Amino acid sequence: MAQDEAPRDVQRSVDNHAPQARDLGSPAEPTQEKTLRRRKAFGSMLLPFAALLSGCTTQKTQNAMARLKKLEFDGEPGATHMEPDGTRTFRNHELVDQDGNVVRFNDDLIRGKVFAATFMYVQCKGICLDMTTHMAGAYDLLKPVMDNPVQFYSFSLAEDSPEDLKQYMIDHGIYGRPGWRYFSGPKSAIKDIRWAFGFFERDEELDGNLNGHTGMARFGNHRIDKWSSCPALGNPLLTARSMLAVIPPDRRPRVPGVDREPDATSRQIPNYQPRKPLGGQPL
């Protein structure tokens, strides 16, 4: 699962078939009357769409809307839908956190959020513990903004139970930290989330190999559809800076110890001699 791509966007067009209008005229009708009848027939074709826009939807129309919404996400894992406001909608999987709270992925964890996401599992004998340690270091640096606005999410790749996730957090000193939650769900849901975040392999055997799972952290700011990533095993300071970098500079909170301080002095380059302009004339 080492391949890293930006969050994936799949949009599909759907053909809308309007009901066929019957020929309400007769061969003997005057041309003007036939034209009026045709206009009336055409108007009847638009009525279902007018009702849809006005909110006066029937059960049949609601079912059609549900089918269209489903079609937007048909296809391989990781599909997202771009909204008119420039944000993207993910499949709204049902997940459970370390305390047994049920959440919806898109509605509760993504929409309007600023977050970092990693993938792990409790029985991991590889990189998971080191990832947890490094992310905890980044968390410590970001304490002033954790849970407001920054969130940390860790997703179980092995359908770990809420009890096991909670115990893992307790064992590693991160349970109860505001803004950091662990989540579990069906493997198909977690795969879809992982693919949507750009961490996948086209080879199914490689993609499903837990021993080679991704060690990347995905950073996101849903409101402005800004995304980045870095190794979760990297320097916690760089991870913290990458987290804040998805927030626009004019709204980015100042965090002591994380902000880059501008260097007010310039350093001389040893033995540097400026080149003379060609022809001896000033540039």
How many beta carbons lie within 10 A of that of residue 260, not counting itself? Answer: 6
For tokens 């079609």, the residue is: 71
According to the model, what pLDDT value does residue 28 have?
Answer: 44
Higher pLDDT, 226 or 202: 226
Q: What is the pLDDT of residues 238-265, one digit of tens each?
A: 999 999 999 999 999 999 999 887 655 6
Q: Which CATH superfamily is domain 81-245 in?
A: Glutaredoxin (3.40.30.10)
Q: Where do the structural domains in the chain lie, given as residue ranges?
A: 31-69, 81-245
The yes-or-no verdict on residue 106 having pLDDT over 60 is yes
Tell me the pLDDT tens digit for each residue of 127-183: 999 999 999 999 999 999 999 999 999 999 999 999 999 999 999 999 999 999 999
